[in-house]
Structure 1
């Protein structure tokens, strides 16, 4: 009985490992497209454009600037 249970556990581990390894992976030629862009219909070439950097000033930085 113990052999049957161990065999079932080993088979389950193998099945889970195969499912994990065969998950759909994007090919190296595909550009990354965030889901938000995919569903909004935006098209953007992420390979050539640097991400736009934004910085929100914290309240203490704004107070220092006013003085």
Structure 2
């Protein structure tokens, strides 16, 4: 993902969920970015350009041990 896309996503997540959320580039991957709450990894946001439409999908796994 391009740095300007990550900035836009970071601003969006901060507006929606608070200033503790951050979006960071992934090492060795350029189609997605990582989402954190403080230092805690939450999930991955993927860029989807299907049929000429651009959207972003956020994927978060919740482990049973975390519940």
Q: Above 0.5 in TM-score? A: no
TM-score, structure 2 normalization = 0.22
Judging by fraction of residues, say which structure has more helix: 1
TM-score, structure 1 normalization = 0.22
